A and B are shown apart, each in its own frame.
Chain A
């Protein structure tokens, strides 16, 4: 029996529903409605340079904040007693199982002008402060939603680091900051690279967070794409061109990240 033929149904599926749709994006990006070749839509993307810059910038800030918050969390978790680690990890990951829209909605109600934070500020004689519909709210939403994506890969790498390495480092005269920079960070590099991609990719392409927490004034690449397909300005050609540029940006960033990864492994 030739086992390899068992994969043929999937191979057909893969070609029709993964490869063909991607080729259609490329086709739509380079053609007009009548089917003639054009680079008009790709050059039109240039008009939205400010939105691209904003998306990359906000996603970058959110990724860095996630890394700074998650790194100590993952380290503390990885040094706990083995049987407590599982429970603690479950508690940290649990909010991620709530639907993403509900988690974002929670911040919508907290940050609203008549929300609980402004209410508390008013009681303290402060405010009201404009919290929602700011770029800060968008970054907060990204950090809140994607923090677990950073903690998990960091934890799974750190958990495997032998604790006696830290003792060895200090026996050999390392200060604790030297141990951090020369032992812990290099060993956890695969976790850092996969955590960064797992936060950056959804953050740069989101349209929910910017719409719910950013109001109309903080459009991101995701909003731009969504508007071309389901919004008022229906234009799949431009939408496809923007999607193509977005994919290229992500590909470039992932290639750069892979340079830092010693064994080139992808952690899920």
Chain B
């Protein structure tokens, strides 16, 4: 039974990884063939780094992801603090609306924002591009920050905030010294989550970006619509390696933190 489980798990992992590995292998292929490996080359990588459109859309993606996730983290953390102090009914209403961008299909979020931007574009001096993209990203990022921060308030003892004030803290410094450290893990994970969602988003960006401001996923999409180019394979390989490095580092940091706080014994 145990052995059967291992075989099953191995088969599923094979299903998940084989397509990616084929992509990686063919990024080193001399010809454009998708089935025969004729010889080793690094040409596609060289071309990739000389591809202006890819480099500029990568820079654009990073600028958007950083600004959207920073703004969302501030907006979302303030919102969570405020919502936490509300009574039950307004709290429930706001949380339900906050859930909409998470539950709704991405395409609906995308086209609904597009309708709004078209409306503004016709009446004001708004163009599809960086601004609309940033607004769209913040809109789907903030809910993740709020959902990450809110549970931290529920875990916190509300009396310590009062105790800090009784012991002579001003409300602001009590907040900074007592509440903020308690909710910080939620703020950090909310930030990281919205950063990765922004980095990776295609559907919402597709409907809200103009021709002036392309993100990497949009560039990838237009590349896949055109001729076969092993540059995409090279790009995939680089992204895959970056992902592995990030996840391994993240895991190591988490493990160290867990060992430090004594939750997990060295094993």
Q: Which A residues are closer than 8 A to B by beta carbons? A: 1-11, 13-14, 17-22, 24-25, 28, 69, 72-73, 76-77, 82-83, 86-88, 90-92, 94-95, 97-110, 112, 114-116, 118-119, 144, 147, 201-202, 204-205, 207-208, 212, 222, 225-226, 229-230, 236, 239-240, 243, 246-247, 250, 254, 268
Question: Chain B residues near A17 (CB, 8 Å)?
Answer: 113, 116, 135, 138-139
Question: Chain A residues near B251 (CB, 8 Å)?
Answer: 86-87, 90
Nearest residue in B to A81 (C-beta to C-beta)? B267
Q: Which of A24, A95, A205, A207 contacts B112 (CB 8 A)?
A: A24
Structural contact, A119 and B111, CB atoms closer than 8 A: no
Interface residues in B17-53 by Cβ distance below 8 A to A read 17, 19-20, 22-23, 26, 33-36
- Give Cα A76–Cα B203 distance, bound, in whole angstroms: 34
Structural contact, B16 and A98, CB atoms closer than 8 A: no
| CB-defined A-B contacts under 8 Å, sample of 12 | A6-B78, A83-B264, A92-B13, A94-B243, A101-B221, A102-B220, A104-B224, A106-B236, A115-B34, A115-B35, A225-B111, A230-B207
Structural contact, B112 and A21, CB atoms closer than 8 A: yes
Structural contact, A22 and B81, CB atoms closer than 8 A: no
Nearest residue in A to B146 (C-beta to C-beta)? A10
Question: By the criterion of a CB under 8 Å from any partner CB, how many residues of chain B are at the interface?
Answer: 82
Interface 9-mer from B62-70, B96-104, B180-188: B96-104
- Give Cα A207–Cα B79 distance, bound, in whole angstroms: 34
Question: Chain B residues near A10 (CB, 8 Å)?
Answer: 75-76, 78-79, 82, 142, 146
Most A Cβ at <10 Å: residue of B86, B103, B146: B103
13 extra interchain contacts, Cβ-Cβ under 8 A, other than A106-B22, A115-B34? A4-B83, A7-B82, A7-B86, A10-B76, A21-B113, A87-B251, A95-B20, A98-B236, A99-B202, A102-B235, A236-B111, A236-B115, A240-B111
Nearest residue in A to B200 (C-beta to C-beta)? A99
Number of inter-chain CB pairs below 8 Å: 215
Cβ-closest 3 pairs across A and B: A7-B82, A10-B79, A205-B105
- Give Cα A18–Cα B102 distance, bound, in whole angstroms: 11
Q: A25-B115, A101-B224 are in contact. Are A204 and B34 (CB under 8 A)?
A: no
Q: A3-B85, A24-B119 are in contact. Are A202 and B105 (CB under 8 A)?
A: yes
Interface residues in B141-171 by Cβ distance below 8 A to A read 142, 146-147, 171
Question: Chain A residues near B118 (CB, 8 Å)?
Answer: 236
Would you give the 0/1 interface string for B105-121, flagging 1 where the beta carbon is closer than 8 Å to chain A?
A: 11111011111101100
Structural contact, B111 and A5, CB atoms closer than 8 A: no
Say how far B34's CB is from chain A's closest CB, in angstroms: 5
Question: Chain A residues near B217 (CB, 8 Å)?
Answer: 99-101
Most B Cβ at <10 Å: residue of A13, A20, A119, A202: A13
Question: Chain A residues near B12 (CB, 8 Å)?
Answer: 69, 73, 92
Structural contact, B82 and A201, CB atoms closer than 8 A: no
Nearest residue in A to B244 (C-beta to C-beta)? A94
Nearest residue in A to B26 (C-beta to C-beta)? A109
Structural contact, B79 and A105, CB atoms closer than 8 A: no
B124 interface residue (CB < 8 Å to A): no
Structural contact, A100 and B200, CB atoms closer than 8 A: yes
Q: Which B residues are closer than 8 A to A by beta carbons? A: 5-6, 8-9, 12-13, 15-17, 19-20, 22-23, 26, 33-36, 75-76, 78-86, 94, 97-98, 100-101, 103-109, 111-116, 118-119, 135, 138-139, 142, 146-147, 171-172, 196, 200, 202-203, 206-207, 216-217, 220-221, 224, 228, 232, 235-236, 239-240, 243-244, 246-247, 251, 255, 264, 267
Structural contact, B267 and A83, CB atoms closer than 8 A: yes
Say how far A242's CB is from chain B's closest CB, in angstroms: 9
- Give Cα A70–Cα B241 distance, bound, in whole angstroms: 26
Question: Chain A residues near B235 (CB, 8 Å)?
Answer: 102
Q: A13-B138, A118-B35 are in contact. Are A97 and B108 (CB under 8 A)?
A: no
Structural contact, A6 and B22, CB atoms closer than 8 A: no
Say how far B7's CB is from chain A's closest CB, in angstroms: 10
Nearest residue in A to B76 (C-beta to C-beta)? A10
Structural contact, B81 and A7, CB atoms closer than 8 A: yes
Question: Chain B residues near A3 (CB, 8 Å)?
Answer: 81-82, 84-85
Question: Chain A residues near B6 (CB, 8 Å)?
Answer: 76
- Give Cα A28–Cα B138 distance, bound, in whole angstroms: 24
Structural contact, A240 and B115, CB atoms closer than 8 A: yes
- Give Cα A185–Cα B26 distance, bound, in whole angstroms: 42
- Give Cα A118–Cα B246 distance, bound, in whole angstroms: 35
Structural contact, B35 and A119, CB atoms closer than 8 A: yes
Structural contact, B113 and A4, CB atoms closer than 8 A: no
